[in-house]
């Protein structure tokens, strides 16, 4: 890692995207995105499916490189890092994947122990205590010996959260943490995200399209559509917004700027009716 410059003030923002354009092949997913995530906050990236939300997380984790613009994490441009630098930056991040992404051949305990075993030389007794503490924080200390196939989707998500927190990250990235959960599990997941953020002094970025749960826990909402930021603000500001795209999303209207019908040729032509 590069040496820190003592004369430089510490960055206020955990993550900053400056004029980022990104895509796969010829297809542009994000266009000229500017985004600031202050330290200690919970920022939610919301938007329609395929709007580029997950791509933002992949950029921050440096699983993708932007076509142009800068992705700064703790003031460091992720594009300039070499392989070792990327690994060092990732050790300070935790990521919760959409369906948990638990290692299916390892028990709940071993899943949480995995990053500790890979990155530390802790004695087995210390490692055991650490893993059980992490599992206790998500309420699953008793499920330590179960396999991922033996626990519910909500529990998988919580085990994955404990695993993502194992190395005490500074930045947590959540990819659709509420997808496919029942209301109880969803409430638990939302409460955990907020509580962990505040008690452990983290910064959290939550990608979600669940308006109710996300508005409850986020400090700032960013709405993405078609690769652009179409609205942002506090949950209260978003609810009050008159911007058509924001209104359609927040109030779940079936038709609006996002069309109900996929672009098609004329109805009369398809049904053989000549007008």
**Cα 227 to Cα 93, 129, 130, 169, distances in angstroms:** 24, 44, 40, 28
Separation between Cα atoms, residue 165 and residue 95, nearest integer Å: 9
Nearest-angstrom CA–CA distance, 103 and 15: 28
| Sheet-wide strand order for 68-73 | 27-38, 13-24, 68-73, 76-77
Q: Judged by CB, which is closer to another protein: 88, or 216?
A: 88
Which is closer to another protein, CB of 99 or CB of 216?
A: 99
- Least distance to another protein, CB of residue 208, Å: 17
Per-residue DSSP letter, 3: P
First to last CA, the chain: 69
In whole angstroms, give the CA distance from residue 59 to residue 22. 9
* Residue 164: CB minimum distance to another protein, A: 8
CB of 166 to another protein, least distance (A): 8
Give the residue with the Cβ less far from another protein, 99 or 132.
Answer: 99
Q: Which is nearer to another protein, 148 or 227 (CB)?
A: 148
Query: With respect to another protein, which residue has the nearer C-beta, 26 or 242?
Result: 26
CB of 176 to another protein, least distance (A): 11
CA distance 227 to 239: 22
Q: Are 68 and 61 in contact (CB under 8 A)?
A: no
State the residues that interact with another protein by CB under 8 A.
61, 63, 87-88, 90-91, 93-95, 97-99, 101-104, 114-115, 118-119, 160, 163, 167, 173
Task: Determine which helix (DSSP H) or strand (DSSP E) holds 17, and give its type and residue range.
Answer: strand 13-24
Name which of 87 and 236 has its Cβ closer to another protein.
Answer: 87
Provide, rounded to whole angstroms, the least separation between the CB of residue 115 and another protein: 5
- Rounded distance between C-alpha atoms, residue 37 and residue 21, angstroms: 18
Compare residues 116 and 137 and give the one whose CB is closer to another protein. Answer: 116
Q: How far is the CB of 94 from another protein (least distance, A)?
A: 8
């Amino acid at each position: 890692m590069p040496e820190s410059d003592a004369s430089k003030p510490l960055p206020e923002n955990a993550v900053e995207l400056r004029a980022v354009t990104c895509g796969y092949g010829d297809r542009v997913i994000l266009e000229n995105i500017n985004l600031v995530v202050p330290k200690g906050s919970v920022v939610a990236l919301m938007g329609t499916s395929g709007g580029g939300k997950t791509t933002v997380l992949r950029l921050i984790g440096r699983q993708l490189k932007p076509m142009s613009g800068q992705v700064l994490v703790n003031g460091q441009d992720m594009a300039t890092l070499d392989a070792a630098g990327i690994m060092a930056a990732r050790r300070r991040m935790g990521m919760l994947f959409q369906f948990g992404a638990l290692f299916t051949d390892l028990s709940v305990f071993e899943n949480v122990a995995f990053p500790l075993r890979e990155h530390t030389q802790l004695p087995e007794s210390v490692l055991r205590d650490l893993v059980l503490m992490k599992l206790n924080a998500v309420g699953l200390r008793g499920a330590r010996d179960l396999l991922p196939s033996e626990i519910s989707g909500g529990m998988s998500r919580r085990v994955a959260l404990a695993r993502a927190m194992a190395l005490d990250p500074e930045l947590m990235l959540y990819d659709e943490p509420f997808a496919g959960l029942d209301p109880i599990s969803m409430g638990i997941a939302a409460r955990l995200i907020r509580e962990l953020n505040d008690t452990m002094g983290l910064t959290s970025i939550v990608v979600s399209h669940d308006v109710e749960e996300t508005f409850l826990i986020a400090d700032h909402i960013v709405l993405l559509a078609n690769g652009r930021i179409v609205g942002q603000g506090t949950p209260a500001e978003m609810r009050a917004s008159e911007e058509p795209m924001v209104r359609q999303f927040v109030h779940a209207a079936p038709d609006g700027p996002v069309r109900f019908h996929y672009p098609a040729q004329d109805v009369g032509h398809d049904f053989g009716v000549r007008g």
